[in-house]
Structure 1
Amino acid sequence: MNTLTHRTTEPIAPSDRSSLPTGRAHVLVRELTAVDRERLLTHFLALDEEDRLLRFGQVVPNHVIENYVRAIDFTRDTVFGVFNSKLELSGVGHLAYLPAEGNTRTAEFGVSVLESARGQGIGSKLFERAAIRSRNAHVTMLYIHCLSRNSTMVHIAKKAGMKIEYAYGEADAYLTLSPADQSSILTEMLQEQAAVFDYALKRHARQASRLFESFMPVAVAA
């Protein structure tokens, strides 16, 4: 499996998956589109060697990350992001849909969070959103693959009740999802609306700040 596709694993009781980790209340997750590709590239290039190792399973150079971002197909996969006040991506979750095997449809999830934004529940919130989208997309199994030393991902997987298997320094986590229902569909819709509204507020605040700065007198050196 392409290590640049995704990373994140005991199965969850099907009836209890609507209440996955919620993270912090102020963390809002917005679905990304091809318009956000440059922001995605900026986000991944900002990861240091250790973070790239944990995210991709190996320390990848910039040109590989550039190829990875260019190759993301937003009509096939689903990508989520959490924006800070500067409209920078603090966290990114990539949900890839794998080929169906009989009645089993699996999606693989990978996540990255900038060091400056950790401790805010961003990774858990991205996972929660990915799980809800997976349910609503008729996915029956959510899968995460990561290095066993990736304590953050292992913690998210354990918190979600995923089945985790360890081998050769790597970990595979599996979550059995319950079918979509009106609650899961409504929850995802409301979460996306809130995130879009939050992004609009941040964008307007950013524009207002820049406009204000443009009217500020320029200091003249003595």
Structure 2
Amino acid sequence: MNMITPRAAEPIVAHDRPLQPGGRAPALVRELTAIDRERLLTHFLALGEDDRLLRFGQVVPNHVIENYVRAIDFTRDTVFGVFDSQLQLTGVGHLAYLPAEGDKRTAEFGVSVLESVRGQGIGSKLFERAAIRSRNTHVTTLYMHCLSRNSTMMHIAKKAGMKIEYAYGEADAYLTLSPADQTSIIAEMLQEQAAVFDYALKRQARQASKLFESFMPAAEAA
């Protein structure tokens, strides 16, 4: 078994950033609820075969994805999403809490990003948000399991300074988290507020666009 040891660094804490190169706004991560279940299903069904293999460890058919989405318990796990201007989920992070062992608590993180928006840091932002939530819910270890050829997950793990163990084409990555503090609690609150506000603006813009389009035929007829 090969292993990469972690760097001596504090766990990731995400902060607001200015526009990224190319004029793109940074991805804002919003916590999802059961109301978003249909959008989640649309997101996962949009993944191609290779992306499904990387996300779930095997090429899963549509009915398995449907069962997975229906089974998500939003009161037990935490699911995060990044929305585009059309209110479609371009990236999803699922934080699942594993049974506690004494005072040690582990959460497993899985992430998927649509091919059309890769390279914009969406996966990293989802991971950063999951790391903060984990700290603030007394998780001591954040864990990821994936195929070793999953370059996105490997990039996230190495960037975060996670301990990575390789075996038989698969990889397990572990990040030891610091306890929650005032900074992590406030950071998560501000990030959620920003994402909720951003979502509301996108929804208003979309509604206004639909309303404008509905008047177009009448205007052209006149």
Contact 1:92–1:126 (8 Å) recurs in 2: yes
Within 5 A, what are the aligned runs for 1:73-222?
Answer: 73-217=73-217
Contact 2:13–2:132 (8 Å) recurs in 1: no
Within 5 A, what are the aligned runs for 1:30-41?
Answer: 30-41=30-41
Residue equivalent to 1:5: none
Runs of 4+ aligned structure 1 residues displaced above 3 Å come to: 9-13, 18-25
Within 5 A, what are the aligned runs for 1:23-62?
Answer: 26-62=26-62
Contact 2:97–2:107 (8 Å) recurs in 1: yes
1:10–1:29 CA distance, 2 compared to 1 (3 A) = farther
Counterpart amino acid of residue 95 in structure 2: L
Aligned length, in residue pairs: 211
CA distance in 2, matches of 1:18, 1:61: 34
Unpaired runs of 5+ residues, structure 2, are none
1:159–1:49 CA distance, 2 compared to 1 (3 A) = same
Contact 1:136–1:180 (8 Å) recurs in 2: yes
Counterpart amino acid of residue 11 in structure 2: R
| 1:108 partner SS | strand
Residue equivalent to 2:11: 17
**Superimposed CA distance per residue, residues 93-114 of structure 1 (whole angstroms, 9 cap, x where no aligned partner):** 0000000011110000000000
Q: TM-score, normalised by structure 1?
A: 0.91
CA distance in 1, matches of 2:99, 2:105: 7
Aligned-residue offset at 1:41? 0.1
RMSD: 1.8
CA distance in 2, matches of 1:75, 1:30: 16
Counterpart amino acid of residue 195 in structure 1: A
Percent identical across equivalent pairs? Answer: 82
Contact 1:30–1:196 (8 Å) recurs in 2: yes
Unpaired runs of 5+ residues, structure 1, are 1-8
Greater length-normalized contact order (CA 8 Å, ≥ 6 residues apart): 1
**Superimposed CA distance per residue, residues 80-99 of structure 1 (whole angstroms, 9 cap, x where no aligned partner):** 00000000000000000000
Contact 2:92–2:126 (8 Å) recurs in 1: yes
- Out of 19-28 and 104-113, give the one that drifted further: 19-28
Aligned-residue offset at 1:26? 1.9
CA distance in 2, matches of 1:12, 1:71: 36
Contact 1:21–1:159 (8 Å) recurs in 2: no
Aligned-residue offset at 1:19? 3.7
CA distance in 2, matches of 1:101, 1:11: 23
